[in-house]
Amino acid sequence: MYNTSLETYDTGGIHAYQDDRQFNCNTIIRYNLVHDGVGYSSILGKPLFDSRGIYIDGFSSGYTITHNICYRNSASGGIFIVFPLGPADWNFHHNTITGCQKPVTLDSYGSPTSWFRDNVMTRGEASGVKAAIEVRGMFKLAGNQISGFDVLDKMVCGKKFPFIEYFLRNIVDEVLPMAVKGDIQYGLNRLSNGWLVYLINNKGVIKFTNRAQTFDMSKTARVEVSLKDIRAAAITELREQKTIAKDEKSNTFSVDVPPAGGGVMARCPR
């Protein structure tokens, strides 16, 4: 789901709203790829961009939001902007958010049953991001992974920490079950039948508000994935259902990721 809200704002790629504060809708939003929401409008002749990835609005309650990927949504909002005034009963877990000015905003009273857990938030290509998560109510946060934000730089007047960078890079190399090489954003999910690898190429996308986006295919990224100790029975590129050949000697495979490819994914059944 992409290029949404081309002629309006204060919206989301997925937008839920209800008026009844007592009703629990018991709804699940899962397995969606939501990116490049525009949310175009203007104030006093100046452009305004205000679109979220997933927007839970009004008195909405009883939502489970899981295993979604949201990236490059416009400046005012990333994935969750929530304003309910009544009881919430939300469970946000195992989502990935990257490349947004406000990755996560939990703007409501919340409740003892409102959870935000086991999500991944990275800065991606966004600049000037103030916080990965803004919390303004009663939410339980646990197990979230946050990386790439420049909080340390701001705290120490722009100083860099090469030792910490070296230390963290080596932790990633040691802990992750795979190694990904190339100019690419990536993430891993463990499934019941193997591993899911999603690859996002942020380069080569040309966008304007008054015409359809175009792609510079010369920015296609060549990516190599080392499976380390994983012995995959088969590797499949899920968007086009193509089998990917593996180098048995090095236990690696390579794939070309086009601009804004929507997350090229490969599954490695065990």
Q: What is the mean pLDDT of the chain?
A: 78
Q: How far apart are CA 102 and CA 128, in angstroms?
A: 10
Strand-pair category, 194-200 with 185-191? antiparallel
Quote the DSSP letter at residue 263: -
Measure Cα distances from 227 to 77, 231, 251 in Å.
35, 7, 6
pLDDT in tens, 112-154: 888 889 998 888 777 777 778 888 778 889 988 888 775 544 4
User: Residue 168: what pLDDT?
Assistant: 78
Asked if residues 253 and 245 have their Cβ atoms less than 8 Å apart, the reply is yes
How many whole angstroms separate alpha carbon 170 and alpha carbon 150?
Answer: 20
Domains of the chain: 1-160 (no CATH), 176-270 (2.60.40)
Is 246:232 a contact under the CB 8 Å cutoff?
yes
pLDDT > 70 in the chain, percent: 82
Q: Mean pLDDT across the stretch 34-49? A: 74
Beta strands at 51-56 and 33-35: parallel, antiparallel or unpaired: unpaired
DSSP symbols for 12-26 = EEEEE--S-TT----
Q: How many helices (H) and strands (E) does the chain have?
A: 2, 27
- pTM for the full model? 0.53
Range with the lowest mean pLDDT among 29-33, 108-112, 148-152, 188-192?
A: 148-152
Q: Does residue 76 have a pLDDT over 60?
A: no
Q: What is the pLDDT of residue 81?
A: 46
Q: What is the mean pLDDT of residues 259-268?
A: 59
Q: Taken in order 258, 228, 98, 244, is the CA torsion positive or negative?
A: positive
Residue 80 CB: number of other CB atoms within 10 A? Answer: 29
Positive or negative torsion for Cα 103, 6, 83, 22:
negative
Q: Helical H runs in the chain?
A: 151-155, 162-175
Cα gap 253→255, rounded to integer Å:
7
